[in-house]
Amino acid sequence: MHTNVEQIFTFIDQESTFIEEQQSATYLEGVVYALELWLEEKKVPTVYNPDKEQIRKAVQLAILKGMKKSAQVNHQMTPDAIGLLVSYFVKEMAKGKKELSILDPALGTGNLLYTIMNAIPTENYAFGVEIDELLIQLAAQTGELLTHDVQLFRQDALKPLLIDPVDIVVSDLPVGFYPDEETAQDYFLQSKDEMSYAHHLFMEQSMKHVKPGGYLYFLVPATIFETKQAAQLHKFIKEQGWIQAVIQFPSSIFKTKGQEKSLLILQKKSEALKAPREVLLAKVPNMSNKEAMELFFQKIDIWQEENSK
Ligand code: SAM
């Protein structure tokens, strides 16, 4: 007996491999073709009533297979180990909310955004911005298959965005220097001495597009506060928001030390709110250690309860 995830993956994989072999296209372009067939009901996987997580996981497996063959580091999809943990925080902090608007300004394949949208019980709708044509196409098709309410924009997210402020921003930020120095000049976080960091500018752009009191969940380089441009970043965060938490992921989930990331949770300042009582600084234990993970989640729950008093 094959599971729904296996059946869907096999369907996408067969169609993608066929395209890859026949039409000198890449496997990822084949995935776009396979999803198109499915959406237009020209060919569909033989599954009974798949749920949203099954569809997301199967599409994710196919995209991962395609990315192994081609993707650059900065285009890589956010892995589930990280996405599921971010959803846990979003769920905890969104308790009591009826509706949630979400923005991911570096949407990629949409895997992180959809992991969160699938996990939160709240009614939600989202905006995604992505510069890469193939990735945004995959994100649009997956969003449609999952019947999520999403509006996507293919553009440089650091140029002006026609998106009203949202409740939360969630993003696995592209890391490195931002080449468009003219656009960088519009940002407080531009660097005068060297090229500006894209991930810093993304944080500023996100802060602009979140409502006062709204939360921002960023996956950032683990060394973000250790660079030459960090002092300016600190100043910016202090002026505009509050650091809620810095969560370090275990090194084992990253291929190299340089790729290690942390989850930085910020809140945009609001006159109606107070700064958090305590900033949560935590290290995620080895994720296969069940007991340690339970303790970690307990720690988060206690922090969250204290913080929301
Ligand atoms: N969370 C995504 C997922 O699950 O697929 C992965 C995000 S990936 C780490 C960062 C993304 O930012 C890449 O897809 C890259 O193309 C996009 N990006 C880089 N610079 C950008 C820009 N200036 N504007 C919009 N998107 C950009």
Q: Which overall architecture, per CATH, does domain 80-307 show? A: 3-Layer(aba) Sandwich (3.40)
Q: Does domain 4-69 have CATH number 1.10.287?
A: no
Q: What rounded mean pLDDT belongs to the chain?
A: 93
- Ordered by start, the domain boundaries in the chain are 4-69, 80-307
- The whole-number average pLDDT for the span 13-37 is 93
Edge to edge, the sheet with strand 99-104 lists 149-154, 123-130, 99-104, 166-172, 210-221, 261-268, 241-248, 280-283
Q: Is it true that 4-69 and 80-307 share their CATH fold?
A: no
Does residue 75's CB lie within 6 angstroms of at least one atom of ligand 1?
A: yes
155-177 pLDDT, tens digit each:
999 999 999 999 999 999 999 99
pLDDT value, residue 259: 85
Mutate to test the pocket of ligand 1, among 63, 107, 127, 152 (most ligand atoms within 8 A of CB): 107
196-217 pLDDT, tens digit each:
999 999 999 999 999 999 999 9
62-104 pLDDT, tens digit each:
999 999 887 666 678 998 989 999 999 999 888 888 899 999 9
Residue % of the chain over a pLDDT of 90: 80
Residues 149, 127: contact at Cβ < 8 Å? no
Q: What is the spatial distance between Cα 153 and Cα 131, in angstroms, rounded to a whole number? A: 8
Q: What is the spatial distance between Cα 106 and Cα 27, in angstroms, rounded to a whole number? A: 22
Does residue 106's CB lie within 6 angstroms of at least one atom of ligand 1?
A: yes
- The whole-number average pLDDT for the span 138-162 is 98
53-72 pLDDT, tens digit each:
999 999 999 999 999 887 66
